[in-house]
Amino acid sequence: MTVPPESQPSHGPRVVPAAEEGLDAPERKVVQALREQLPDDATVLVNLRLTDTRADREADAVVVWPGVGVAVIEVKGGHVEYADGTWWVGRPHQGRAVQPVKQALKCKYGIREVLRGHPRWTGPDPRMVHHVAVPYTRLPSGFTAPECPRTLISDRDDIPHLADRLAAQLDALESAARPPTEAQAASLVAALTGPQHPQAAFATRNAAHIAEREEHCELLTAQQGSVLDMLREVPRVQILGGAGTGKTWLAVEQARRLAEEGQRVALLCYSKGLAMWLQRRVQALPEDQRPAYVGTFHALGIQWGAKPVVGAPQEYWESGLPAEMVRHARYLTPEQRFDAIIIDEVQDFAPPWWEPVLAALKHPDTGRVVTFADEGQLIFPRGALPAKGFTKIVLDENLRNTEPI
């Protein structure tokens, strides 16, 4: 996806903020390379801060490239080495341990969560990758790491071709997610850098489009509902599909059907943005078809009595709070437990979360559990299902563009 010389930009991409204040030397080197290599219609967001109740995150650079995709870049200066499963700035075991891949990945997921809950963004999840740049390091020949194939990291020799490398990584991504159009890219940048609430004119302009799109998706999802008909006697199911295959609509439909049968149902997810969307969606259902609980996994634990810790490290949310939930689950009454649990975007669930999930069931060994996952994201260190008992189904119809994936 190299940009031919005759189409090289005359002005370069827009950089936000334009002053580039607060950039250190390695970040400035990367941003300057992107200025020189990206086309006019691209945007580079620098030092983009993402804040929620769990953590503050900062993406060193985010490339928003219409027709290509979104790349979240973590920059590490100095001499960077990877040894014994750990990244080091300086000598291994003597320098400073860092986590560039994990930082970039968390920022990518943070951006996705912001977009899902933001009124300025009405499109599907855009094609998005995370990338590491080490502009002062020359990686050894044949470098690779379990969490970081060579295509995911650019060293000092790669920086002169950084834009091409990002384009190739996005193009090779095995996901149904589409690159943003120019209009979507503008909305994405506005959502990440502008105020939370759009102007009334924006909402009015998009209301008809949103209604039409949702009605079309509803029709196609009803056709996909036959999947649920076939699986009604299967207690443990994982349904896989890329972006646009109707997973979230099917998750709501599965929860609705079970609630209508009189079962006590929980509809869980990880992202607060997705949880808010699910809650709005469920609120429109008849009361006897609504799940008993709709929200995030962590919020369920807090509802049980687990105490949230303000400013706690990520490890607390991944293992500390789930351990508390297991203890609280022992004291749940039968009326508080669930006949069935539906989980959307299960690839975001950490392995320690499964014990409290199953403990919330009236019958932990046989209770109904239906999960939905983006098959393109299963390579990341989340989404580990229990080893046995789940039947896997793959969705192969893209409900957003009505073409086979």
Mean pLDDT of the chain: 83
**In the block, which residue shows the tokens 């750990």?**
86
**Segment-wise mean pLDDT, segments of 10 residues, the chain, 405 residues:** 39 79 85 92 91 75 95 95 92 89 93 87 91 96 92 96 94 87 92 62 42 48 67 87 76 93 94 85 89 94 86 82 94 95 89 93 93 65 65 66 32
Q: Which fold has domain 220-394?
A: Rossmann fold (3.40.50)
Residue 225: per-residue pLDDT: 65
As a whole number of Å, the end-to-end CA separation of the chain is: 21
Predicted TM-score (pTM) of this structure = 0.50
Distance separating alpha carbons of residues 124 and 33, to the nearest angstrom: 30
Q: In this structure, what DSSP letter does residue 214 have?
A: H
Residue 400: per-residue pLDDT: 40
Return the closest-CA partner of residue 271 out of 177, 370, 346: 346
Distance separating alpha carbons of residues 68 and 383, to the nearest angstrom: 27
Q: Are the C-beta atoms of residues 128 and 177 closer than 8 Å to each other?
A: yes
- What is the tens place of the pLDDT at every residue in 274-298? 888 899 889 888 889 999 999 999 9
Residue 376: per-residue pLDDT: 59
Domain ranges, ordered by start, for the chain: 14-209, 220-394
- What is the tens place of the pLDDT at every residue in 355-404? 999 999 999 989 999 999 876 554 345 556 665 688 888 876 544 433 33
**In the block, which residue shows the tokens 């437990």?**
337
Q: Which two tokens stand for residue 205?
A: 């302009």
β strands within 243-358, DSSP E: 265-269, 293-296, 340-343
